[in-house]
């Protein structure tokens, strides 16, 4: 059988491939629980080779459909087996500019790896680890894919430099737009910087990925609070932006409204993580931002943010760190690997327990958390079994710090300062193309959907970019054009019919 890449190799069967998933090198739990170095040290080249062998190259390719940005996964894995690592990188970056980030933080078990054909009988191919390996190799080798970009004269403004904004910026820059990304913090990166700790995603990796965006011509403007310094309307009407993308994230952390929440020692995971990660409070007093020392910490929630908060507290030197979650381990929304790592490091998990009161130590500090045991009842609207408190099952956990990681609400700033239509929960209302109620203004990521994952936000950023290109009249520029090696180009009047973007139907004023 012939393909564009030459003869296909002999068809593999499940019996021919290495049966066991290649393990990633990890720091020992007892060592890593006291440092901020990366837990998962990734693959070596021989690991990547071995794991790549496990891909069946099945014709169905469920993994591609499972990926929110539809990376051509079997293609890049095949190039790893061919030792064409640069080629593997090119395949990934055709769909995803941030392989080092996504390889680390995507919930692969519920995306590509969750539907992998190998996974039907064995452990699925470790797609995330392979993606990360390729991305890290690219950073090490200094590879970057800066395509030929023909300037269109369109100016695009992006609000928020997190994953949604970065993905949208990349696509718009590749389409020839002049892209400016605004960030309220003093450094770009959004949740990748302030939220996800270094032991899971080092800030140096985020910086390397941001540098690639700058190579595409994207400009980052920090210290800019859009809405307050200037409004979305002003961006369109006065500042000369032809299109705007809003990716400001969900932000505003939730609390439960139980007694004792205003005690000193109660804080949101956002605050804890921002102080520790972005502001380097862990290096106080070399950095000025302080952090309250927690000896006995209770974190409420069991999502990825909760896992990050738990493990950060452990690394900051807490004696005991406990997780409280009202459902059971099976329902916990965190990535499987994060829960596994947290358990290995000695985090105590109280499944099926919910806080009812934070108790005062008599000096406005925290003494303990009073909790109640929960049981799982009938499934609710989300399909998960609803937790119900068991009467008379109250117990106390001693604590001097309580961290809330139970989700976030919509950040109100854009809503306060523009006439954009919001939905009844305060998130920005969009249509199926992610267009908002103001022409030329698009939105995506957590500020539209509520809290989700990094890759979903990136997917939304790319989706919005497609809509913005259509709005601006830019054609198919996300298609990466490659000449056919067999020379049999399908041309029409000398123009390759597969080559998109050669005609522009709308020009800027």
* Contact set with another protein (CB under 8 A): 184-186, 194, 222-225, 228-230, 251-253, 255, 257, 261-262, 264, 267-268, 270-271, 274-275, 279-280, 284-292, 364, 404, 411-413, 416
Q: How far is the CB of 406 from another protein (least distance, A)?
A: 12
Give whichever of 69 and 279 is closer to another protein, judged by the CB atom.
279
112 in Cβ contact with 63 (< 8 Å): yes
β-strand 441-443 against 395-398: which pairing, if any? unpaired
Q: Which residues have a Cβ under 8 Å from the Cβ of 85 and sit 6 or more positions away?
A: 79, 134, 137
Q: How far is the CB of 318 from another protein (least distance, A)?
A: 16
Q: How far is the CB of 296 from another protein (least distance, A)?
A: 17
**Exposure string over 272-292, b if 16+ CB within 10 A, otherwise e:** bbbbbbbbebbeeeeeeeebe
Give whichever of 164 and 267 is closer to another protein, judged by the CB atom.
267
Q: Helix, strand, or coil here: 377?
A: strand
Alpha-carbon span 175 to 384, nearest angstrom: 42
Give whichever of 123 and 357 is closer to another protein, judged by the CB atom.
357
Give whichever of 74 and 260 is closer to another protein, judged by the CB atom.
260
Q: How far is the CB of 228 from another protein (least distance, A)?
A: 5
Give whichever of 252 and 351 is closer to another protein, judged by the CB atom.
252
In the chain, count H helices and then E strands.
17, 20
Q: How far is the CB of 263 from another protein (least distance, A)?
A: 8
Of residues 86, 69, 88, 70, the one with CA closest to residue 78:
88
Give whichever of 87 and 407 is closer to another protein, judged by the CB atom.
407
Q: Which two tokens stand for residue 23?
A: 């393990």
Q: How far is the CB of 499 from another protein (least distance, A)?
A: 41
Give whichever of 38 and 198 is closer to another protein, judged by the CB atom.
198
Give whichever of 334 and 410 is closer to another protein, judged by the CB atom.
410
Q: Helix, strand, or coil here: 46?
A: helix
Q: How far is the CB of 229 from another protein (least distance, A)?
A: 5
Q: How far is the CB of 312 from another protein (least distance, A)?
A: 14
Contacts made by residues 121-125, CB under 8 angstroms, sequence distance 24+: 121/14, 122/14, 122/17, 122/19, 122/20, 122/21, 122/54, 123/20, 123/21, 124/21, 125/21, 125/51, 125/54, 125/55, 125/63, 125/77
Of residues 216, 177, 89, the one with CA closest to residue 141:
89
Q: Helix, strand, or coil here: 118?
A: helix
β-strand 491-492 against 495-496: which pairing, if any? antiparallel
Q: Which two tokens stand for residue 200?
A: 């899971």
């Amino acid at each position: 059988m012939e393909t564009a890449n030459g003869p296909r190799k002999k068809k593999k069967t499940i019996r021919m491939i290495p049966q066991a998933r290649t393990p990633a090198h990890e720091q020992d739990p007892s060592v890593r629980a006291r440092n901020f170095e990366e837990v998962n040290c990734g693959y070596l080249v021989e690991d990547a080779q071995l794991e790549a062998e496990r891909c069946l190259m099945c014709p169905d390719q469920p993994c591609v459909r499972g990926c929110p940005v539809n990376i051509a996964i079997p293609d890049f894995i095949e190039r790893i087996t061919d030792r064409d690592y640069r080629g593997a990188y090119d395949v990934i970056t055709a769909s995803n500019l941030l392989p080092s980030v996504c390889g680390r933080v995507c919930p692969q078990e519920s995306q590509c790896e969750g539907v992998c054909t190998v996974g039907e009988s064995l452990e699925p191919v470790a797609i995330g680890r392979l993606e990360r390996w390729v991305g890290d190799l690219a950073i090490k080798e200094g590879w970057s894919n800066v395509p030929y970009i023909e300037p269109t004269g369109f100016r695009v403004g992006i609000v928020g430099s997190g994953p949604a904004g970065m993905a949208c910026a990349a696509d718009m820059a590749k389409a020839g737009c002049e892209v400016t990304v605004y960030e309220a913090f003093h450094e770009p990166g959004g949740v990748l910087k302030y939220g996800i700790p270094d032991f899971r995603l080092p800030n140096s990796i985020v910086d390397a990925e941001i540098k690639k965006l700058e190579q595409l011509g994207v400009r980052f403007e920090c210290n800019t609070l859009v809405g307050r310094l200037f409004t979305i309307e002003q961006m369109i009407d006065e500042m000369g932006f032809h299109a705007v993308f809003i990716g400001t994230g969900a932000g505003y952390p939730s609390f439960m409204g139980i007694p004792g929440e205003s005690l000193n020692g109660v804080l949101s995971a956002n605050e804890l993580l921002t102080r520790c990660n972005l502001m380097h409070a862990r290096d106080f007093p070399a950095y000025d931002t302080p952090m309250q020392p927690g000896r006995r910490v209770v974190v409420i929630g069991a999502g990825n943010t909760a896992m990050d908060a738990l493990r950060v507290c452990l690394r900051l030197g807490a004696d005991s760190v406990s997780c409280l979650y009202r459902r059971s381990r099976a329902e916990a929304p965190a990535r499987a690997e994060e829960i596994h790592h947290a358990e290995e490091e000695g985090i105590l998990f109280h499944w099926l327990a919910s806080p009812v009161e934070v108790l005062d130590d008599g000096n406005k500090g925290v003494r303990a958390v009073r909790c109640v045991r929960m049981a799982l009842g009938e499934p609710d609207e989300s399909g998960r079994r609803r937790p119900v408190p068991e009467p008379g099952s109250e117990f106390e956990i001693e604590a001097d710090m309580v961290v809330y990681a139970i989700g976030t609400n919509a950040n109100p700033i854009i809503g306060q300062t523009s006439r954009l239509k919001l939905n009844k929960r305060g998130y920005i209302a969009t249509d199926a193309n992610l267009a908002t109620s103001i022409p030329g203004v698009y939105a995506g990521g957590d500020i539209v959907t509520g809290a989700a994952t990094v890759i979903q936000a990136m997917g939304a950023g790319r989706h919005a970019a497609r809509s913005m290109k259509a709005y601006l009249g830019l054609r198919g520029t996300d298609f990466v054009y490659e000449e056919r090696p067999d020379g049999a180009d399908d041309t029409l009047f000398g123009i390759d019919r597969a080559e998109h973007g050669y005609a522009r139907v709308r020009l800027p004023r």
